[in-house]
Structure 1
Amino acid sequence: MNTTLLNQTDCPEVKVPWPLFFIIGVVSLAENLLVVIAVISNRNLHSPMYCFICSLAAFNSMACLIKSWENLMILLADAGHLQKTDLSAKRLDDLMDSLLLMSFMGSIFSFLAIAVDRYITIFHALRYHNIMTMRRTAAILALIWTVCGVSALLMIHFFEYFFIMISFVVFFVVSLSIICFLYVYMFMLARIHAQKIASLPSGATRGVLTLTILFGAFLVCWSPFFLHLIIMMVCPFNPYCECYRSLFQLHVVLLMSHALIDPAIYAFRCPELRRTFRKMLLCSQLL
């Protein structure tokens, strides 16, 4: 995405050393690929919730890979090895923006799917395995990836249209509102029906807390970047808005750090994943 300041302001653009981008990108990519491999390899993790977590890790991997590749292109362009005006470079930039937007939307949809899964686990425990079958889980994942891919391509292609910009903002706000409502609703019902909830497996309520932490990390890491996009739309020529836009590279670092934080939360909060990581790193046989 274009980070060139449109106006002269008293806020110089904050630069982040390019090696930091690649270090975060490589480490994040390795961590999230480890999560994907762990879920695929361990049959004990072949459940709807872990499938959605695997999808979230895949979207995180995509975001890290795309931003690392985009930073590499910027370095090549600054060194004179790549012409920014080339049509092929413009198309490649649009493709990378589409994939980044796809990973952003996919992360939100993955969180939404996980929230619904946890709701069914807690409040429809006896019917859970009839409602959330692996076939339905596969269909949901296929729908998420298809919708996110098509929507991202269309949004980037028609991003100049005001309707598309508004739709993007509405999607973000509505999606986060639904997810927050589900989590708050689950915790409120859990307090009202404390005795009933206590009879459920401890992993159910523990899973809700884990996913709440994951969602909180997502909000902290992605919100500055999303606010940057909103400012690009609503006040592109305002010097005060440009001061916030001057922090773009810091917002990108924070965005990429989300993919770095998630696997650490998985490992800390999920014993089965922790055991799987240990076996993978020690080259032990998985279940």
Structure 2
Amino acid sequence: NVLVVAAIAKNRNLHSPMYYFICCLAMSDLLVSVSNVLETAVMLLLEAGVLATRAAVVQQLDNVIDVLICSSMVSSLCFLGAIAVDRYISIFYALQYHSVVTLPRAWRIIAAIWVASILTSVLSITYYNHTVVLLCLVGFFIAMLALMAVLYVHMLARACQHARGISLL
């Protein structure tokens, strides 16, 4: 993931909306890993008695780490969806692609995904004991999965249609 982010940041040929979405996906996945390592390290230090602190501080730290993990997972799903939509537009609206998927629009989408992911995570961690929170997260996961499945199946159908057309030539 670090190499993906570095390659996209360094190579000017990769400075396009699609690659920015891929870069953000890599950053989200990297954040999941870092958050899990951080949580494991804190738990090990607490168990070993190296990190002695009050229960309230430990709970707050746990909530912050949980927000990081949750927001990075939500943003990963959103960026996977954004990549699917980007590819769909590039295939089905190839001639209009550059007027529809512009850099300013991509930056607004990226910012919206990060903000929505953080807000969703804060609300989810704050109200974790409410059933509606779990239902919303599961519903979001299913909706994103369905969106990606529908888009990619439609793209596959178009590719098969083109392959049949080419084979007839």
**What TM-score, normalized to structure 1?**
0.56
Instruction: Tell me, in whole angstroms, the C-alpha distance in 2 between the residues paired with 1:73 and 1:155.
Output: 22
Matches within 5 A, 1:219-238: none
- The answer as to whether partners of 1:84 and 1:90 remain within 8 angstroms in 2 is no
Instruction: Tell me, in whole angstroms, the C-alpha distance in 2 between the residues paired with 1:179 and 1:81.
Output: 45
Encode CA deviations 1:144-201: one digit per residue, 9 max, x unaligned. Answer: 0010011111101101011111111111111111111111111012212337899xxx
Question: Match of 2:88?
Answer: 119
Gap runs ≥5 in structure 1 = 1-31, 199-287
Question: Match of 2:34?
Answer: 65
Question: Match of 1:181?
Answer: 150
Question: Match of 1:129?
Answer: 98
Higher relative contact order (CA 8 A, sep 6+): 1
- The answer as to whether partners of 1:53 and 1:114 remain within 8 angstroms in 2 is yes
Secondary structure of the corresponding residue to residue 193 of structure 1: helix
Secondary structure of the corresponding residue to residue 95 of structure 2: helix
Matches within 5 A, 1:255-266: none
- The answer as to whether partners of 1:190 and 1:197 remain within 8 angstroms in 2 is no
Secondary structure of the corresponding residue to residue 62 of structure 1: helix
**Distance verdict in 2 for CA 1:186–1:62, change over 3 Å:** same
Question: Match of 2:59?
Answer: 90
Secondary structure of the corresponding residue to residue 93 of structure 1: helix
Question: Match of 1:102?
Answer: 71
Matches within 5 A, 1:177-256: 177-194=146-163
- The answer as to whether partners of 1:102 and 1:148 remain within 8 angstroms in 2 is yes
- Of Structure 1 and Structure 2, the greater helix share is in 2
Question: Match of 2:119?
Answer: 150
Instruction: Tell me, in whole angstroms, the C-alpha distance in 2 between the residues paired with 1:130 and 1:140.
Output: 15
Runs of 4+ in 1 over 4 A off after TM superposition: 195-198
Instruction: Tell me, in whole angstroms, the C-alpha distance in 1 between the residues paired with 2:161 and 2:115.
Output: 39
Give the percent of matched residue pairs that are identical in Structure 1 and Structure 2. Answer: 39
Aligned length: 167
Instruction: Tell me, in whole angstroms, the C-alpha distance in 2 between the residues paired with 1:104 and 1:136.
Output: 23
Instruction: Tell me, in whole angstroms, the C-alpha distance in 2 between the residues paired with 1:92 and 1:65.
Output: 15
- The answer as to whether partners of 1:63 and 1:99 remain within 8 angstroms in 2 is yes
**Distance verdict in 2 for CA 1:124–1:197, change over 3 Å:** farther
**Distance verdict in 2 for CA 1:188–1:131, change over 3 Å:** same
Which one-letter code corresponds to 1:191 in the other structure?
C
Deviation of 1:33 after TM superposition, in Å, equals: 2.1
Instruction: Tell me, in whole angstroms, the C-alpha distance in 2 between the residues paired with 1:83 and 1:189.
Output: 60
**What TM-score, normalized to structure 2?**
0.93
Gap runs ≥5 in structure 2 = none
Question: Match of 2:22?
Answer: 53
How well do the aligned residues superpose, as a CA RMSD in angstroms? 1.8
Instruction: Tell me, in whole angstroms, the C-alpha distance in 1 between the residues paired with 2:49 and 2:7.
Output: 42
| Structure 2 residue 134 is matched with structure 1 residue 170 | no
| Structure 2 residue 130 is matched with structure 1 residue 161 | yes
